[in-house]
Amino acid sequence: MICFPNAKINLGLHVTEKREDGFHNIETIFYPVGWNEALEVIERPMTLKRDSSAENRSLNFNLHLSGLPVSGNISDNLLYKAYQLMQQKKSLPSLEVYLHKVLPMGAGLGGGSADAAFFINLLNEQFDLKFQETERMDMARQLGSDCAFFIKNKPIYATQKGDVFADLDLDLSHLFIAIIYPNIHSNTKEAYSLVRPQQPSRSLLDFIKQPISSWKHELVNDFEKSIFSLYPIVEKTKQDLYNCGALYACMSGSGSAVFGLFEEEPILKQLGSFPHWCGKMK
């Protein structure tokens, strides 16, 4: 069975306070976009000779990676961690898992979180595990703050660690989007350490109701100031998107990818050779 995990963007992001558990409370709007990876799961036949790796034999989980390189051991991979969580609740077969990595890491696009959440949904369907959406979201929350969003995978207003949701009636399907990754790996922990949390004077829900033409000056991402000071190319990329005619441009999450929303499909030749994706909004 195969699925296609997609990226997300943040329409504004406020870091509102430091929590006692060391995390931060935020306010943001998650919106799914159509920049996709590919994930396939195949049940490993009992007669198939298993991988010679002792680690993989003990895991009953064999991960095959292609596309962009992924660092770390298999035990650190969110797909394997999701498999472990589900295995604690339901019996799962041995699996061959194929992930073609497309979304850059350290971009604020949620690629790893999307892979894990889509994997949870895929296994639930493929093996008829009968986990309800709330159960799948609870498992996803244990893997990452934005992971649970991808279980729903629709526009969401998120608070607390970014994992408490309220449904949002927001349709941007009439617009085009361009996402630029300026080849900067943004470290989320470092990004949070450079932000001074504060309660916003107005909620993002107020701004999102206004015309998109007003978002440029009001719908802000609190991470931009510090990331721009560290990596001026990120700020320049945002300005380049406005120069190309974007109605609204913003850094996604803790960076470093920047997106622009357009009325018509943009021409991005002047933006250089950075990895990028353009398409219609969902």
| Exposure class string for 175-206: b at 16+ Cβ within 10 A, else e | bbbbbbbbebebeeeebbeebeeeeeeeebee
DSSP annotation string for 140-155: HHTT-TTTTHHHH-S-
Question: According to the model, what pLDDT value does residue 159 have?
Answer: 97
Domains 2-167 and 176-280 share a fold: no
Question: According to the model, what pLDDT value does residue 53 have?
Answer: 47
The one-digit pLDDT tens for each residue of the chain (282 residues) are: 999 999 999 999 999 999 999 899 999 999 999 999 999 999 987 644 444 444 444 468 999 999 999 888 888 899 999 999 999 999 999 999 999 999 999 999 999 999 999 999 999 999 999 999 999 999 999 999 899 999 999 999 999 999 999 999 999 999 999 999 999 999 988 999 999 999 999 999 999 999 998 999 999 999 999 999 999 999 999 999 999 999 999 999 999 999 999 999 988 776 667 899 999 999
Question: According to the model, what pLDDT value does residue 46 have?
Answer: 60
Strands 95-101 and 61-67 turn out to be parallel
CATH number 3.30.230.10 is the correct assignment for the domain at 2-167: yes
Could you tell me the residue ranges of all domains in the chain?
A: 2-167, 176-280
Question: Which helix (H) or strand (E) covers residue 189, if one does?
Answer: helix 188-193
SS3 category, 138: helix
Question: According to the model, what pLDDT value does residue 164 have?
Answer: 95
Question: According to the model, what pLDDT value does residue 47 have?
Answer: 45
CATH, domain range 176-280: 3.30.70.890
Closest to 84 (Cα-Cα) out of 63, 61, 100: 61
* Catalytically active residues, by annotation: 8, 146
